[in-house]
A and B are shown apart, each in its own frame.
Chain A
Amino acid sequence: EAQVTQNPRYLITVTGKKLTVTCSQNMNHEYMSWYRQDPGLGLRQIYYSMNVEVTDKGDVPEGYKVSRKEKRNFPLILESPSPNQTSLYFCASRTGTGGLGQPQHFGDGTRLSIL
């Protein structure tokens, strides 16, 4: 089954404790992206990757890091999490062919609470 898998689904942690949210897709998609969703603000892009070793900032990249060492994986790293990063996070992927004419497939989301 074609899917985007995020882990963990839920995480409660404390300020300053490094964490990683993993994202994996099995559709051989070139493009992957991370979004955060906050009430009233919709989905805002954090980082995206056009392919292996190619990443770029989205609209709200501060406080986050990403890496793309393999095509299927795109982890989101919070080196020193703060309470304002409490949010619902979604990973998405799409094929690179056709660019913005292709739909994005979303993972089930990771609800992150930072105390």
Chain B
Amino acid sequence: QQPVQSPQAVILREGEDAVINCSSSKALYSVHWYRQKHGEAPVFLMILLKGGEQKGHEKISASFNEKKQQSSLYLTASQLSYSGTYFCGAGNTGTASKLTFGTGTRLQVTL
């Protein structure tokens, strides 16, 4: 079963912040975050492993709550280049090789 992402879409003005959530119905071992520009391949942002760690990548960071089986992606002071569709990939415990992607969150940053 695919993880659920929310919101499905969001429009921001440049400089605003956003949070994208990813929730799994199964126990999580890892969560991957990718960004995809229209017509291009998904690009890796970061991976979080179970343990509740938080990671950062420029002005983009993420958290992982193992107990709640959730991850959140934080985009701070958004830039036009942040526009795209964000996917979380759930690596569920017990499935050593399988990454199940959510349906995506479409983010548009405007001037």
Contact = CB atoms under 8 A, between A and B. Distances in A.
Interface stretch (A62-70, A71-79, A102-110): A102-110
A103 B44 contact: yes
B61 interface: no
A14 to B, nearest CB: 25
Given A45-B98, A45-B100, A100-B29, A108 B40 contact: yes
Contact of A101 (B40, B42, B47, B98): B47
Chain B interface mostly:
strand
Interface size class of B (residues with CB under 8 A): 20 to 34
B30 A104 contact: no
Contacts of B44: 103-105
Interface of A: 31, 33, 35, 40-45, 48, 50, 56, 58-59, 90, 99-109
